[in-house]
């Protein structure tokens, strides 16, 4: 409550209620909800799946709110041939898609490193 008064006699005064809204700032980096030393996530995918098909998803958490909580994803290692793609959906999840033909006889195992970051 704010109060203002003068030094007169009689004292005249008024008061007003003040609301302070604390706005969020971008002070939390996004992170995956797993320990660095935990076992890598595993996905099984059949070969010869259609191009652009969703094959999995990853989820990171940002403790900020609103636009400060938007998370982007990138495959930073293990995708030299561009077989996989990743994009953010409207719920902030990283959607992993098949961008090229997947053939088990060519490569039966792919290990990807995915990074989450603020756009």
β-pairing, 84-88 vs 93-98, is antiparallel
Contact 87, 75 (CB under 8 A): no
| Cα separation, 15 vs 11, whole angstroms | 13
In this predicted structure, what is the pLDDT of residue 100?
A: 94
Q: Which residue has the tokens 């030299």?
A: 80
User: What three-state secondary structure class fits 108?
Assistant: coil
CA–CA separation, 27 and 22 (whole Å): 14
Flag whether pLDDT at 33 surpasses 90: no
> What's the mean pLDDT in 20-45?
88
pLDDT in tens, 82-93: 999 999 999 999
What's the CA gap between 97 and 86, in Å, rounded? 6
At 34-79, the pLDDT tens digits run 777 788 889 999 988 999 999 999 999 999 999 999 999 999 999 9
pTM recorded for the entire structure: 0.79
């Amino acid at each position: 409550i704010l109060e203002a008064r003068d030094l007169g006699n009689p004292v005249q005064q008024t008061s007003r209620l003040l609301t302070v809204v604390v706005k969020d700032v971008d002070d939390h980096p996004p992170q995956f909800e797993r320990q660095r030393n935990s076992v890598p996530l595993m996905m099984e995918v059949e070969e010869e799946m259609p191009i652009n098909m969703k094959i999995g998803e990853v989820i990171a958490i940002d403790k900020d709110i609103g636009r400060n909580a938007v998370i982007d994803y990138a495959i930073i290692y293990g995708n030299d041939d561009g077989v996989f793609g990743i994009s953010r959906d409207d719920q902030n999840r990283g959607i992993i898609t098949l961008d090229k033909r997947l053939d088990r006889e060519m490569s039966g195992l792919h290990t990807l490193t995915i990074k989450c970051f603020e756009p």
